[in-house]
Amino acid sequence: MYTSARIRDTLLTRINEILEKNPTAELVAVVERNKLFTAFIQYEKDG
C-alpha cells in the first residue's frame, strides 16, 4: 500500500491514520521525487 502528498505534514497525517487502523502496519520507506512525497506501508491482510 502507498499514500502520497505534496506537503510533508499531510503525508504524516495519512501515515498515522493507516498505522492506527492496521495494527500490523509497518512503514517501509518514504521517497521524495519531484516534490511529491510517497510513503510505502506493508501490513498483513486478514484471511
pLDDT, tens only, 9-20 = 999 999 999 999
Cα gap 20→34, rounded to integer Å: 28
Lookup result for grid cell 520507506: 29
Q: What's the pLDDT band for 47 if we cut at 50, 70, 90? A: low
Cα gap 21→47, rounded to integer Å: 17
- Count Cβ atoms below 10 Å from residue 15 Cβ, excluding itself: 18
Which amino acid appears at position 16 of this protein? Answer: N
Instruction: State the DSSP code for 45.
Output: P
Does residue 23 register a pLDDT over 70?
yes
Q: Residues 24-29: what's their mean pLDDT?
A: 94
Cα gap 1→6, rounded to integer Å: 18
